[in-house]
Structure 1
C-alpha cells in the first residue's frame, strides 16, 4: 500500500489544486458572471457531452488497463487499435444523436429551451473528451497518472474559468462562451498528447496482426461488456442534472450543480487513489494474487474513508459560511440539503472501497454490467418519482439511495464469490471519530466575522478529529505523513 500511496500523492495534490480553481469557478466566478439560466445551460451542455463519452468509448479505457500487462511489446499498436475502435463508437453515437435530435429537443423545449441552440457543441465536446480518456487510460497503464490529472483537474478548469472571465469582462458573448467550450476540451486533449510525446510512448502502429492469438477477440469482448457497465455508471452520475434541467428549469440545475460540485470534493482522495490502484489490481489478477487484492481492498477503504470523512465533516460544519460567499446566495442556498445528501452518497462510494475496480478486472466483470444497468434504470425511475415531489432535493435523494444500493450489491457479490471484505473494526472506529468530531461544530458562530467563524469551526473540527483519532488509535499513518512533511518543510 505504501507504494500506491506514494504514487497517489502527486495526483492528490493536483486534484486539490483543481479543487481550489474549481471552487473559485463554481462558487464565485460562475454565479457572478452568469445568471442562473446561463449557468444552467453552461453545465447542462457539458453534462450531455460528457454523458456520451462512455457510450462512444465502448469500454476501451478499461480494456487498455486490463490487457496492457499482457503485452510485452506492441503497445503502440494497442493504442491505435483502441482509438480506432472508440472512434467507431463515436460515429455510432453521433448518428443516433442526430437521428433522434428532434425527440431530444422536445425533452428540453418546455422547461429549458435556451440550450437547444447549443446542441451542435455537444458532439464536439464528446469527441475531445473521448480521445482524452483513451490517452489517460494509456498513460495510466504506464503508472503515469499525475500529469493527466493535472491536465484534467487543473488545466481544464483554469481554461474554463478564463473563458467565463472573458464573458464577465464583456470580451465575448454568451454564445461564444458556449462555442469556446469546444476549444477548452480541445486544448486539454492537446496537453495529454504533448505529455505522451514527451514520455516517448505516443506512437501509432497499425500492424495489428502482431497481437497474440485471440488477443483482439478477448479485448473486444471485454470492452463491449464493460462499456455498458461504464456507460450505465456515468448515466447514474449525470442523469440527475439533466433531468433537473428538463423537468424543472435551467435555474434549478444551476443550483443543483453548484451544490453537487461542493460534495464532489469529498471523493477526490478516492479518485486519486483509484487512478493508481486500477493497474495494480489488473496486474494482481493477471498473476492470481487474490490475497493481495483483498488486503488492498481493506487498506484503501480505511485510508480513503479516514480522509474523506474529515472532508465531509468539515464541509457540513461550514456549509452556511460557504454559501455566504457565493454571489446571489439567496438563489443558490436552496441547494444546502443537496450538498449533504450527495456528500453522504460519496461516502458510501468511499467506504465500500474499490469494489467497482475489482469487479471490472475480475472474471466476474459481467456482473458489473448487470448491476450497473439495473441501477441506472432505478435512478431514472426514482428521479421521475421524487423530483416532482421534492424538486432538486428529490434528485439528490435518488442519487444517494442508488449509490448505497449500488455499492451494497457489489459488496455482497464480492463477499460471496471471492471472499473479499473491505470492513474491519477500524472502519467502525473511523465512523465514530467522524460523528464525535462533528458535534463540537455546534459551538460556532461566536464571532461577527464570517471568515473568522469559518476558520474557527474548521480548526475545531480538525483538532477534534485528531484528538478522537489518537484516542481510538486510527489514522496514525496519515498524521505521521503530515508530521514528516512539516518537519521537512521546516528543515
Structure 2
C-alpha cells in the first residue's frame, strides 16, 4: 500500500485544493459574475464536451492500464498507437455530431436556445480533454497520478477562474468567455504533455509491428468492449444536468450544477484512490493474486467510507450556512435537497469501493459492459419519469437510485464469482460514527451569524466524529496508518 498511499495523499491534496478553488468558482465567482442563464450555458457546453470524451476514446484509457504491465519494452509505441486509435474515435464522433446536429439543436431549442450558439465549441473541448485523458492513463501506468491530477483538478480550475474574472472586469464579452474555454482545456493539455516529456516517458514511435503476437488485437478488443461501459458511466454522471437543460431551463441547470458540485466533494477520496488503485488491481489480476485484491477492496472501502461520511456530515449540517454565502442565494438555494440526494448516491458508490475497477480488469469485464449500458438506459428512463414530477430534485433522486442499484448488482456479482466482499464489522462501526456526527444538522442556532454557525457546527461534527470513533473502535486501521506516516516523517 505504500506506493498507493504516497500517490493517493498527493492526489488527494491536489484534489482538495482543486475543490477549494472549485468552491470559490462555483459557489461565489460564477454566480456573482454570470447570470443564471449564462451559468447554465457555461456548464451545459462543458458537460456536453466532456460527455463525448469516452465515446471518442474508444476505451483506450482502461486498455492502457490493463495492457501496459504486459509490455517490457516499446511503451512509447504503445502510447502512439493509443493516441492514433483515440483520434480515429474522435473523427467518428465528429461525423456523428455533425450528422445529428439538427436533432441536438432540437433538444435545446425549446427550453435552452442559448446553448445552440456555442455547439461548435463542444468538439474542441472534447478533443483536448480526450488527448489529456489518454496521457493521464499513460502516466497512471507509471503510477504517476499526482501531477496529472494537479493539471486536471487545480490548473484547469485556476485558468477558468481567470477567464470568468476577466469577464467580470468587462474586458471580454460572454461569447469570448465560451471561446476561452477551448484555450483553457488546450493549456491544461499542454501541461500534462510537458510533464510526461520531463519524466522522459513521452516519445512518439510508430514501430507498431514490434508488439508481442496478438497484443494489438487483444488490446483493441478489450478497449472496444470496455469503451461502451466507460461511455455509459460518463453518461450516468453527465446526463442528468443535460436533461435538466433540455427539459426545464438553463436557470435550473445553474441551480443543479451548484448543488451537484457541493455534493461532489464527498467522492473525491474515492476518485483519488481509484486513479492509483487501477494499475495495482490490473497487476494483481495479471499475477492471479485474488486475496490481495480482496484485501485492497476492503481496506479502500473502509478508508473511503470513513472519510466521506465525515465530509457528508460537515456539508449537510452546514448546508443552509453554505448557501447563505452564495451570491443570489434566493435563486440557488432551491437546490438544497439536490445536494442531499446526490451526496447519498456518492456515499453508496464510496461504500462499495473499487468494484467497477475490479470488474474492468477481471475476466468478467463484459458483465460490467452490459450492466453499465443497462444502467445508462435506466437513468435516462428514470429522469424522463421523475424530472417532470419533481423537477431538479427528480434528477438527483434518479441518480442516487440508479447508483444504489448499480452497486448492489456489482457487489452480488463479485461476491458470487470471485468471493470478494468489501464489508466487515468495521463497516457498521463506521456507519454508526457517520450517523451520530450527522445529528448536528438538527441543532438550532437561530440568532447566531451564519459564519459562526458554520464554525460551531463544524467543530461539533468533528468532535462527535472523533469521540464516537474512539467509543465504538471505528477507523483504528486508518488512524494507525496516519500515526505511522507521522512517525516516518518525523526526525
The verdict on a shared fold, with TM-score over 0.5 as the criterion, is yes
Q: Partner of 2:187 in structure 1?
A: 187
Q: Partner of 1:440 in structure 2?
A: 440
Report the CA distance shift for 1:184/1:276 in structure 2 as closer, same or farther (over 3 A).
Answer: same
Q: Partner of 1:268 in structure 2?
A: 268
CA RMSD of aligned residues (A): 1.4
**Residue pair 1:136, 1:148 contacting (<8 A) in 2 also:** yes
**Residue pair 1:352, 1:411 contacting (<8 A) in 2 also:** yes
C-alpha distance in structure 2 between counterparts of 1:287 and 1:490, whole Å: 36
**What's the secondary structure of 1:420's corresponding residue?**
coil
Q: Partner of 2:460 in structure 1?
A: 460
Is 1:300 the counterpart of 2:300? The answer is: yes
Report the CA distance shift for 1:176/1:414 in structure 2 as closer, same or farther (over 3 A).
Answer: same
**What's the secondary structure of 2:363's corresponding residue?**
coil
Consecutive unaligned residues of structure 1, counting only runs of 5 or more, are: none
C-alpha distance in structure 2 between counterparts of 1:96 and 1:236, whole Å: 20
Is 1:428 the counterpart of 2:398? The answer is: no
C-alpha distance in structure 1 between counterparts of 2:372 and 2:240, whole Å: 16
Consecutive unaligned residues of structure 2, counting only runs of 5 or more, are: none
**What's the secondary structure of 1:7's corresponding residue?**
helix
C-alpha distance in structure 2 between counterparts of 1:249 and 1:71, whole Å: 50
TM-score, length basis structure 2: 0.98
Segment of structure 1 superposing worse, 437-446 or 384-393: 437-446
Please state how far the C-alpha of 1:441 moved relative to its aligned partner.
3.8
C-alpha distance in structure 2 between counterparts of 1:473 and 1:283, whole Å: 33
C-alpha distance in structure 1 between counterparts of 2:261 and 2:440, whole Å: 26
C-alpha distance in structure 2 between counterparts of 1:108 and 1:463, whole Å: 48
Aligned length: 491
**Residue pair 2:316, 2:441 contacting (<8 A) in 1 also:** no
C-alpha distance in structure 2 between counterparts of 1:441 and 1:389, whole Å: 28
Please state how far the C-alpha of 1:6 moved relative to its aligned partner.
2.7
Describe how 1:196-345 pairs up with structure 2 within 5 A.
196-345=196-345
TM-score, length basis structure 1: 0.98
C-alpha distance in structure 2 between counterparts of 1:244 and 1:177, whole Å: 23
**Residue pair 2:47, 2:242 contacting (<8 A) in 1 also:** yes
Report the CA distance shift for 1:276/1:488 in structure 2 as closer, same or farther (over 3 A).
Answer: closer
**What's the secondary structure of 1:422's corresponding residue?**
coil
Q: Partner of 1:119 in structure 2?
A: 119
Q: Partner of 1:361 in structure 2?
A: 361
Report the CA distance shift for 1:485/1:169 in structure 2 as closer, same or farther (over 3 A).
Answer: farther
**Residue pair 2:121, 2:178 contacting (<8 A) in 1 also:** yes
C-alpha distance in structure 1 between counterparts of 2:88 and 2:425, whole Å: 48
C-alpha distance in structure 2 between counterparts of 1:107 and 1:160, whole Å: 27
Segment of structure 1 superposing worse, 431-440 or 48-57: 431-440
Is 1:397 the counterpart of 2:370? The answer is: no
C-alpha distance in structure 1 between counterparts of 2:189 and 2:2, whole Å: 31
C-alpha distance in structure 1 between counterparts of 2:484 and 2:412, whole Å: 39
